[in-house]
Structure 1
Amino acid sequence: MPSIDWSDYQAFLAIARAGQLAAAARALGVDPTTMGRRLRRLEAALGARLFEQTRSGQDLTEAGEALLASVEAMASAAGRISERADQGDGLSGTLRISTSEGFGCWFLARHLPAFQSAHPRLAIDLVASSGFLSPGRREADVAVMLSRPRTGPLVAHKLADYTLALYGSRDYLDRHGTPARPADLLEGHALVGYIPDLIYAPELRYLDEIHTGLRAALRSPSITAQQSLIASGAGLGVLPCFMAGSDARLVPVLPEKRILRSFWFVTHQDIRKLPRVTAFRQWLDETVRRMEGVLTP
């Protein structure tokens, strides 16, 4: 078998994780032509087709699935070697963090600069969006998720509880009145919430926990957009208290109706002991303990 350049394996791994050749090329900072050439060179060297072209992108073949496990192990070993070599100069490399939009934008982003300043040679990717990258597929090094994963080569621990409550703007409540009981929300009130078929985690289905049968009339997959709608007087809606508590435009409604959820710290079992992962986990544990009163006021 001819010798294979490590960059060809890196190209294969990037395509397997991204599911699309163009997206993989962007992740590695090369053009799609170069990425395609590396893949064809690897397939020729191995004598096997590694991907099938589909409408959505590239799907692994049986040979590709078999190769993926080996290449991921190689990448993990290379990462450990690199980190051991750099330990004398502090953490380095890249740490990619996947979180929900609310926790990432309204909590983690406010505290993360302190961690980065303590490790200036470490690049940090904060992916805070409506959905999660998968540590199991190595799309992210760590993820802060809304539930503990039940399958996959993952390790997880409970990071913190947080509470959510119903909020409205003063302007909205002046115009429509303040509901005295949950049943009042069924008539005369507009509700803001998620688009049902775009909810990416079952933990986000919480309107029924306020009162059975509630349905949002103004909907968005973005919790930030929902907060803007509620604060502008468009309707009432459920928000994490750590987001709403810092917005002077918002007033709690039916304060006795609190919803409890949890954040979970998740990483792939093969990288859980990497210095950058353990350092971030310890820092984040300490940060959420210190900010417990904000997460669960």
Structure 2
Amino acid sequence: MKDFLTLRLYARVARLGSISAAARECGLSQSQASRIVADLEDGLGARLLSRTTRAVVPTEAGAEFLARAEAILDAIEDARNVVREGEDLQGLVRISMPSTMGYLEVIPRLTGFTELHPALRLQILLEDQRQDLVRDAVDVAIRLGTLSDASATAQKITTIPRVILASRRYLDKAGEPITPADLTHHRIIGGPSGVAAWAFEREGEKVAVDLQPHISVNDNEGAVVAAIAGMGICSTPCRRPRPEMLDGSLVPLLTDWARPPVEVHAYFPLGRQTRIAARSLVAYLKAGFGEPV
């Protein structure tokens, strides 16, 4: 068990590039973590980490040791869980996702999973920027859109409809667009996709409108907040009516036109065995997306 904890600590130091960050993650003081890593290097008779004032990075020997250590850690945790197939899972699963997706769709659906596996620890990373799954030791990342990631394998888990929204305050001043082409005369709030053309379809007719955002936000929820504030019109994934839509402060627009839904994928890092617990978590989410929160 001591060797297991030492390997886990070393792996996190090497991936995070920081002894203090790894110590916090492992529930240790920085001095404890430093001593454990030093003892590991002494025992191996090799320098595993190169320490500078700015970062801690693996040496050539350290990188080789890291690859083998992570394989051992994953194998040990999966060995524990494989004999519990269908029973309580144990260990730690690190899951990453955009913050809005986490708040509205994923976290509310995890209660049943945590009740099924009370011994399993979940570390939820709400990150609106894409992460390096291997470097950050992420077991599964939930991402929106048809992304291409050469360092991961993907599994589609659901789709989410898009809606066009604006505040009543904005529409009272600027008027309501009747056709997609009318959007060119309005203030547009761009979201994290960065796509300038908005595609629409109605009864087989397809239209794409090139739009130049007046305001760009790298988070879907931020784009919606900007729309609520009356800054313009946004397009956002929306599975169910928001409270602001129900009370009339946000108005759905162009409802007779459909926008392509947003695909939601689970990404697993390449080069590491897909963890049993991560697979179980994704299967649970995939089944649960068929039901409302």
Q: Shorter chain as normaliser: what TM range?
A: 0.7 to 0.9
- CA spacing shift, 1:34–1:288, aligned 2, 3 Å: same
1:284 maps to what in 2? Answer: 285
Query: Unaligned 5+ residue runs, structure 2?
Result: 200-208
Conserved? CA contact 1:133–1:139, under 8 Å: no
- CA displacement 1:64-111 (0-9 Å, x = unmatched): 221111001110122123324666862233322211222211111222
Conserved? CA contact 2:49–2:57, under 8 Å: yes
Distance across 1 between alignment mates of 2:130 and 2:149: 15
> How does 1:89-104 map onto structure 2 within 5 Å?
90-104=88-102
Distance across 2 between alignment mates of 1:31 and 1:273: 29
Conserved? CA contact 2:88–2:116, under 8 Å: no
Distance across 1 between alignment mates of 2:65 and 2:233: 51
Whether 1:60 and 2:58 are equivalent positions in the alignment is: yes
Distance across 1 between alignment mates of 2:214 and 2:220: 13
Conserved? CA contact 2:237–2:262, under 8 Å: no
- CA spacing shift, 1:26–1:97, aligned 2, 3 Å: same
Q: Paired residues, what number?
A: 277
Q: 1:131 Cα shift? A: 2.4
> How does 1:136-175 map onto structure 2 within 5 Å?
136-137=134-135, 139-146=137-144, 147=146, 149-152=148-151, 154-175=152-173
- CA displacement 1:177-217 (0-9 Å, x = unmatched): 11234444444x333234xxxx5xxxx12242253241232
Distance across 2 between alignment mates of 1:261 and 1:54: 43
SS in 1 for 2:239: helix
Conserved? CA contact 1:52–1:60, under 8 Å: yes
2:49 maps to what in 1? Answer: 51
> How does 1:170-249 map onto structure 2 within 5 Å?
170-187=168-185, 189-194=186-191, 204-209=193-198, 211-217=209-215, 219-242=216-239, 245=242, 247-248=244-245, 249=249
**Bigger CA drift: 50-59 or 33-42?**
50-59
Q: 1:244 Cα shift? A: 5.5
Distance across 2 between alignment mates of 1:268 and 1:182: 39
* 1:126 counterpart letter in structure 2: I
Conserved? CA contact 1:167–1:250, under 8 Å: yes
Distance across 2 between alignment mates of 1:55 and 1:260: 47
1:114 maps to what in 2? Answer: 112
Distance across 2 between alignment mates of 1:143 and 1:137: 13
2:81 maps to what in 1? Answer: 83
Query: Unaligned 5+ residue runs, structure 1?
Result: none
Percent identity of equivalent pairs: 25
Q: 1:173 Cα shift? A: 0.9
Distance across 2 between alignment mates of 1:43 and 1:107: 44
Distance across 2 between alignment mates of 1:52 and 1:183: 58
Distance across 2 between alignment mates of 1:41 and 1:236: 59
SS in 1 for 2:210: coil
Q: CA RMSD in A?
A: 2.9
Distance across 1 between alignment mates of 2:233 and 2:285: 32
- CA spacing shift, 1:6–1:282, aligned 2, 3 Å: closer
- CA spacing shift, 1:55–1:253, aligned 2, 3 Å: farther
2:206 maps to what in 1? Answer: none
SS in 2 for 1:130: coil
- CA spacing shift, 1:223–1:52, aligned 2, 3 Å: farther
Distance across 2 between alignment mates of 1:87 and 1:28: 26
SS in 2 for 1:166: strand
- CA spacing shift, 1:58–1:117, aligned 2, 3 Å: same
- Of residues 271, 274, 277, the one that matches 1:272 is 274
* 2:195 counterpart letter in structure 1: Y
1:130 maps to what in 2? Answer: 128
* 1:241 counterpart letter in structure 2: C
1:251 maps to what in 2? Answer: 251
* 1:14 counterpart letter in structure 2: R
